[in-house]
Amino acid sequence: MDKDQRPRHPKTPMLWPFKGVHYGWAIMGALFIVSFIQAPMFGPVAAIFIQPIEDEMGWSRTEITLAFTLGSIAGALASLIVGRLLDRFGSRVIIVVASIIMAVSMVGLYTVQQPWQFWLYFGAARAAAMAGIQLGVMVTTANWFIRTRGRATAVGGGGLRAGQAVMPLLILAIITAYSWREAYLVAAALSIVFILVPAALFLRRRPEDMGLLPDGGWPEQSTENASQSPTPTTPTVVERSFSLREAIHTRALWLVILTIMAGHFGQTAVNFHMAVSLQDRGMSYGLTVSIVSIFAASSALSVLPAGLLMERVHVRYGIIAVSLMFVGSILLLMSAETYAIAVAFGVLFGVASGLWTITQRLVFANYFGRRNVGSIRGFAEPFMGVLSPFGPLLAGILRDATGDYNLVFTIFIGMFVVMLTAMVLAIPPKLTEAPSPV
């Protein structure tokens, strides 16, 4: 039966009218919006608030950055539990609850008067974004796609990068007209409308729950079309899936954890401090915001090509390329005495971050399969969170102590070399037993 003539599956939401289009793309559209709106909890957009908060509250850069670090640690620890829940129940309820926590916390940010209040509210919002929304996006994408997982990941990851490109301009306008407090209120309202609502309406756990297969196949096509050439809706990929216990006993898992830990340590800190490091060099607040937008736009534009590339090139080689581009971009940032060099940094770091967005989301599913990817990634998050959340905090401490970011950026280059070395050694593992269909 032609897929366009099939009756609508009873579990398919009526809001999705396109019977001939895999429902996974409805989910990815919702995840694009969800990822877009969570951008204020991630480094480049969060950094827009640093100078206005410094000016009003008189807090040090270390005090402000501590909120980001505490939220990252809390999110990493919560992922250990949330990952298992995602495998069992799916992402819809998790993301809905996370959006409520994030919105309430940002309303709390409107009221803060003491540093501990800022740490509490921002930390809770970032933890919800990391463990609830971000992890939910990654697991859902891995569950719905195998053969076209790269381009699907580009949609979800592209939402965050597009948000990082657009949200700074909106936040700058609100801060200029009112203050940073009102900017958080607007972000809270957007979270309820554009995270909670799409998640509640569209998200589902796995295609099998709706009588579908990954990448758009129908179960009976496995036999009906066995003698025909593969089509975009025919399941042609059999993916081995490791259990959590099996993955733990591979060297590759621990090298992947080290890779992401080192990469996040440097990349997250640069995200958070790039704007203020340029301000320290004498660049105006408005121009530094433009660099953040250039970075994020370059990243957003690169995620789809990166996703398509990663369907043809092993994710391991993609991460190796990312580490080399990160080193080059930091060297540009350290020498950014002119706006032109700052723009060059923004473009290169943006392209690298776009490829990093795809590769670090794909690596666990591509190495260990999709069946237990929530549990495996959830297990890994606390280990990755041991070091990486301290990158932004270390940058703030050393900048306050030395007056500039030169020592910090040198340390980050070293971390990207660690990232490169670990991924070179991370040979993909193989299951000893025969593969079983996913």
Residue 358 has, within 13 A of its CA and on its CB side, a CA count of 37
Once rounded to an integer, what is the mean pLDDT over residues 110-119? 95
Token pair belonging to 329? 């971009």
DSSP 3-state of 435: coil
CA separation, residue 222 to residues 229, 236, 373 (Å): 12, 9, 24
pLDDT at site 225: 40
Confidence (pTM): 0.74
CB atoms within 10 A of CB 406: 13
pLDDT at site 69: 85
Whose CA is closest to 231, among 311, 148, 141? 148
| pLDDT tens by residue, 346-376 | 999 999 998 998 998 889 988 998 888 888 9
pLDDT at 223 exceeding the cut of 50: no
pLDDT at 389 exceeding the cut of 60: yes
Contacts from 108-117 at CB under 8 Å and sequence distance 24+? 109/181, 109/184, 110/181, 110/182, 110/184, 110/185, 110/188, 111/181, 115/57, 115/59, 115/63, 115/66
CA angle, 336 then 318 then 27, to 5°: 100
What is 19-213+238-425's CATH topology?
Growth Hormone; Chain: A; (1.20.1250)
Q: What is the distance between the alpha carbons of residues 240 and 247, in angstroms, rounded to a whole number?
A: 12
Instruction: Encode 226-244 in three state secondary structure.
Output: CCCCCCCCCCCCCCCCCCH
Instruction: Name the more confident of 186 and 19.
Output: 186
Q: What is the distance between the alpha carbons of residues 108 and 131, in angstroms, rounded to a whole number?
A: 20
Percent of the residues in the chain that have a pLDDT greater than 90, as a whole number: 42
DSSP 3-state of 409: helix
| Domain range annotation of the chain | 19-213+238-425
